[in-house]
Amino acid sequence: MDVEAFITARLPAAAHPLVPEIALHAAVPSSGLGRLAAADPAFPPPYWARPWPGGLVLARHLLDHPVLAADRRVLDFGAGGGVAALAAARAGAAEVVALDADSFARAAVRANARRAGLAVATAAELPAGHFDLVVAGDVFYDAAVATAALAALTELRCRGARVLVGDPGRDHLPWARLTPLATYVVAEWGASAGTPGTATVHAFDGAE
């Protein structure tokens, strides 16, 4: 199955109210994601099929402060559908790489980038070399994932990257290594269904 074509055809594109500049292909009840699951017995949870709060606030922050990404090499770590990667490209980044281990997520990034007319590369493993800016949205949602993310972000910080983390305040965040920069209201991410919540952009290890 051509996953990118399936996403383009079956997941309608829509913009989240926080980031109206960028429309993403997102799942609806009629999208039929079960067909992707049937085509791949190892089909992982489709986290890429909707925008998450950490990625949304990172995207908003980059669009509001384009100097962070302009003319820089940017990595979207754990990109999902790529909203932060697309924002970095729109902000004028010299190069954007969306990193996600999930091949379906990478296909979604490519579909979203093509629709937006933006240049975003994808990668399954941590690329070599220096990145000026790393953005990581919603990568601390459980203990095992958080441990792996922390190790990778520490490595990237040691390579000299500025690292920004977006998250609504999950328990596995490395709080001692984060400095809050900006908090945004995110529609439909509150404590009860359909209510607004908040998510924050943090500097990791003082990377302001």
What is 6-35 written as a DSSP string? HHHHHS-EEE-TT-TT-EEE---GGG-HHH
**pLDDT tier at 207, thresholds 50, 70, 90:** low
pLDDT over 70 (residue 103) = yes
The CATH number linked to 42 is: 3.40.50.150
**pLDDT tier at 34, thresholds 50, 70, 90:** confident
**pLDDT tier at 190, thresholds 50, 70, 90:** low
Tokens of 89: 């490209």
Domain count, the chain: 1
The helices-and-strands tally (H runs, E runs) of the chain is 6, 9
What single-letter DSSP state applies at residue 128? Answer: S
d(CA 133, CA 81): 19
What single-letter DSSP state applies at residue 43? Answer: P
Dihedral, CA of residue 155, residue 102, residue 73 and residue 66, to nearest 10: -110
The verdict on pTM exceeding 0.85 is yes
Range of the structural domain that residue 24 is part of: 3-204
